[in-house]
Structure 1
Amino acid sequence: MSLALSLLALSFLIFFHELGHFLVARAFGVKVEVFSIGFGKKLIAKTYKGTQYTLSLIPLGGYVKMKGQNDSDPLEQSSDTDSYTSKAPWQRICILLAGPLFNILLAFFIYSSLSFGDKQVLLPILGEIKEGYPASEVGLKSGDQILSINGEKMRTWREMAEIIASSPSLSLQVKRENQILSFSLQSKEVEGKNIFGESKKHYVIGVGAKGEFGSMHFGVLEALKNGAISTYENSTLIVEGIKKLIVGVVPTSEVGGVVSIVQVMHKASESGWISFALLVALISINLGVLNLLPIPALDGGHILFNLYEMVTRKPPSVNMLYYLTIGGWAVLLGLMLLGLYNDLHRILL
């Protein structure tokens, strides 16, 4: 059942992406000839107001076929007023951006929804105090509750840990039983590893959490703020990951395909609906960011063509358009085969 749920969620992300293209295209008066979820043999096909809506056999993709635009034939053109190619470059860019932006907005909605209401959070109450570290040297004790750091109120352990990791000097306000105490200390710089396995320096004071949880209410504005922060941080992380892959910091063996995505979603669904929803949001961001890459077969590549036309006042030559699109499809096919190879290698070995 969880496997079917994973496939359904992946299909929904693709549907939402294509819905963005569809709605903005229609808003600019572009005729959408086909709105398809999936590839291959058409299982269901229904035409409504000039658009054929289809559900195809392989639900691991989808597309919107607009009049005058065809990824399988980059030379297709139409001068009709309701065609994609008749629109101004800025309008085409809006249509192309809509798909990725819809995926990013969906992630923002998921993160914001999960942040809203009463939540159990790990409180900034100290447990272990390590000897020889700044916290021990200034007299912090187990059971102390950190109220503020450098004048900023601390409500959760995560907030506290993040500000300590980036601050060489700290001014703490601490609650100890019925007393409010103040401490000033210099953090200790240590070297660790980031998510990409690179060496990264950060600061510590030598404390561990006591493990006490408390209830905290997040209102609408705070939930929206948390949603925006999570969306931005994860978008940045994905962009950084792509950069690391290109320069070789992340090995190509880490590239995964659809099989890996479904496997991870399957495991997340077994861990509970919150874990599953968080993963769906992350994959939605991933789908949005990857589609903005300047590869001709992707939205980002088409945006690049239209930017070229806006700057030069003329569209790319037919030969340039044709060969770059073929090259883009070759790159995509290579990445898909690499992902499939890595997926099978992980499964079989």
Structure 2
Amino acid sequence: MSWIVALLVLSALIFFHELGHYVAARYFGVYVEVFSIGFGKKIASFTWLNTRWQLSAIPLGGYVKMKGQDDADPTARSGDDDSYNTKKPWQRIVILLAGPLANFALAWVFYFAIALGGPQALSPVIGKVVADSPAQTAGLRQGDRVLSVNGEPIATWNELSDIIKSSEAPLSLQVERGNAIYFLSVTPRISESKNIFKETIRQPMVGIAPSGEVHTMRLSTVEALAYAGEETYAASLLIFQSVQKLITGVVPAEEIGGVVSIVSITADATAYGWMSLCFFAALISVNLGVLNLLPIPALDGGHIMFNLYEMIVRKAPSDEAVYRLTLGGWIFLLGLMGLGLYNDITRMMQ
């Protein structure tokens, strides 16, 4: 059952991405011939608003087929007013951006729902103090709960960590220890550590680790709005950084996952309740938005680059160039999908 839910969630994310393109295209008067969830052979379809809405056999994406726009045949253009290729470049860019933006907006909605439901957060309680560290010198102990830093209230471990990482100046901590309150001063020291990509970095640290205690955050509507925005931004930044690290070789190719991994993780999240499912759905939605913005022909980002080229040089790229670049983009994407599927199968066999 969880796998069915996972497939439905993935299809819903794809649907909203394509819906973004569809709404923007219709807004600018472009005739949308087909709205498809999946590729390949048509399984079921119906006609509504003069568009054929269909479900296709291969659930690895989706597409909207607009009049005058066909990646497989760039020469299949139309001079009609309701054609995609007769629209101004900036209008086409808006249509292309609408899909990824729909994914970011959907992720924001998921994070907002999580915020209203009371998300779990790591408490600012010290679980370990490193020997000979600034924290030990300052008198911090295991079990201390940090209430404020420089007079600013601290509610989560992430807030405490962010303040420490961004300062080399002495920090004034208000700490709860048992039934007593203590005021301590600690000065971060530049130290080496590993980031999430296993790179060695140097940053201010004081030598403490969290206890692992968690608590439920109770957020007002205004705080929930801010939480949703912050989480959407953080997830987007993480995906961008991951792509960058993959391109530069910091993240090995073995770490790439395919649709099997996506569905499997989403299915696992389903078993832990709606909040966990919303969290992973939001992350995947952001993933779809970011990846589609990459300047790879065949993706939205590639087509945006074609239109930016036209805006700059006042001339559209040749049909032959668009066709060859798009074909190369598809070969690259299919190779990437094949690598992800290979890695998925390899992990399953281990």
TM beyond 0.5: yes
Give the Cα separation in 2 of the matches to 1:47 and 1:246: 42
- 1:310 equivalent to 2:311? Answer yes
CA contact 2:111–2:232 (8 Å) conserved in 1? yes
More moved, 80-89 vs 214-223: 214-223
Equivalent AA in structure 1 for residue 227 of structure 2? N
| Alignment check: 8 A CA contact 2:111 2:231 kept | yes
1:290 corresponds in structure 2 to 291
Residues 287 and 127 of structure 1: is their aligned pair in 2 closer, same or farther, counting only changes over 3 Å? closer
When the two chains are superposed, the root-mean-square deviation of aligned CA atoms in Å is: 2.1
1:238 is aligned with what amino acid?
A: I
Aligned to 1:277: 278
Q: How far is the alpha carbon of 1:256 from its aligned partner?
A: 1.5
C-alpha spacing 1:326/1:118, structure 2 compared with 1 (3 Å): closer
Give the drift of 1:176: 4.9
In 2 relative to 1, CA 342–131 (structure 1 residues): closer, same or farther, beyond 3 Å?
closer
Q: Structure 1 residue 141: deviation in Å? A: 4.2
Q: Secondary structure at the match of 1:217?
A: coil
Displacement of 1:172: 1.5
Q: Which residue of 2 aligns with 1:219?
A: 220
The residue number in structure 2 matching 1:261 is 262
Which secondary structure does the structure 2 equivalent of 1:116 belong to?
Answer: helix
Q: Distance in 2 between matches of 1:346 and 1:120?
A: 30
Give the SS at the match of 1:223.
helix
Q: In structure 2, what residue type is equivalent to 1:311?
A: I
Checking the alignment, whether the CA contact within 8 Å between 1:108 and 1:228 is kept in structure 2 is yes
1:150/1:24 CA distance change after superposition, 3 Å: same
Q: 1:210 to 1:39 in 2, by over 3 A?
A: closer
**Per-residue CA shift, 1:76-115, capped at 9, x if unaligned?**
2111001101111000000000001100111111112211
Shift in CA distance, 253/122, structure 1 to aligned 2, threshold 3 Å: closer
Find the counterpart in structure 2 of residue 21 from structure 1.
21
The structure-2 alpha-carbon separation of the partners of 1:334 and 1:154, relative to structure 1 and needing over 3 Å to count, comes to same
What letter corresponds to residue 111 of structure 1 in structure 2?
A: Y
AA aligned opposite 1:85: N
Distance 2:212 2:261 in 1: 34
Instruction: Please state how far the C-alpha of 1:158 moved relative to its aligned partner.
Output: 2.6
CA distance in 2, matches of 1:38, 1:176: 57
305 and 215 in structure 1: CA distance in 2 versus 1, 3 angstrom threshold: closer
2:114 partner SS? helix
TM-score (norm 2): 0.92
Distance 1:154 1:304, change over 3 A: same
Output aligned runs, 1:1-349, within 5 Å.
1-116=1-116, 118=118, 121-142=121-142, 144-169=144-169, 170-176=171-177, 180-209=181-210, 216-349=217-350
Give the Cα separation in 1 of the matches to 2:212 and 2:301: 46
Task: Report the Cα offset of residue 204 of structure 1.
Answer: 3.4
Is the 8 Å Cα contact of residues 117 and 275 (structure 2) preserved in structure 1?
no
Residues in 2 aligned to 1:344 and 1:26: alpha-carbon distance in whole angstroms: 41
Preserved CA contact (<8 Å) 1:74 1:325: no
Structure 1 residue 278, shift from structure 2 partner? 0.8
**C-alpha distance in 2, partners of 1:259/1:147?**
43
Unaligned residue ranges in structure 1 (runs of 5+): none
1: distance between equivalents of 2:184 and 2:68? 68
> For residues 154 and 307 of structure 1, do their structure 2 counterparts lie closer, same or farther at Cα, with a shift above 3 Å needed?
same
- Distance (whole Å) between structure 1 residues aligned to residue 95 and residue 67 of structure 2: 13
Q: Return the alpha-carbon distance in structure 2 between the equivalents of residues 184 and 105 of structure 1.
A: 42
Is the 1:239–1:289 Cα contact (8 Å) retained in structure 2? yes
From the superposition, tell whether residues 2 and 295 of structure 1 become closer, same or farther in structure 2 (CA, over 3 Å): same
The offset of 1:287, in angstroms, is 0.5
* Shift, 1:261, TM fit: 1.1
Q: Per-residue deviation at 1:7?
A: 0.7
Separation (CA, whole Å) in 1 of partners of 2:224 and 2:293 = 27
Output the amino acid matched with 1:318.
D
TM-score by length of 1: 0.93
- The secondary structure found in structure 2 opposite 1:263 is helix
Q: Alignment identity in percent?
A: 55
Worse-matched range after superposition: 46-55 or 187-196: 187-196
1:215 deviates by 5.2
Change (3 A) 1:329 1:202: same
The C-alpha deviation readout for 1:2-31, integer Å capped at 9, x for no partner, is 011111111111000000000010011111
* 2: CA distance, partners of 1:128 / 1:246: 36
Contact 2:66 / 2:83 at 8 angstroms: preserved in 1? yes
Alpha carbons of structure 1 residues 347 and 177: separation in structure 2 relative to 1, 3 Å: closer
Q: Is the 8 A contact 1:295 1:301 kept in 2?
A: yes
How far has the Cα of 1:291 moved from its partner?
A: 0.5
Going from structure 1 to structure 2, the CA distance change for 1:249 and 1:57 (only over 3 Å counts) comes to same
Structure 1 residue 171: deviation in Å? 1.7
Q: Which amino acid aligns with 2:260?
A: V
Q: Give the Å deviation of 1:190.
A: 2.9
Cα shift readout 1:217-236 (whole Å, capped 9, x = no counterpart):
21122111111111111111
Gaps of 5+ in 2: none
Q: Which amino acid aligns with 2:319?
A: V
User: When the two structures are aligned, how many residues end up with a matched partner?
Assistant: 349
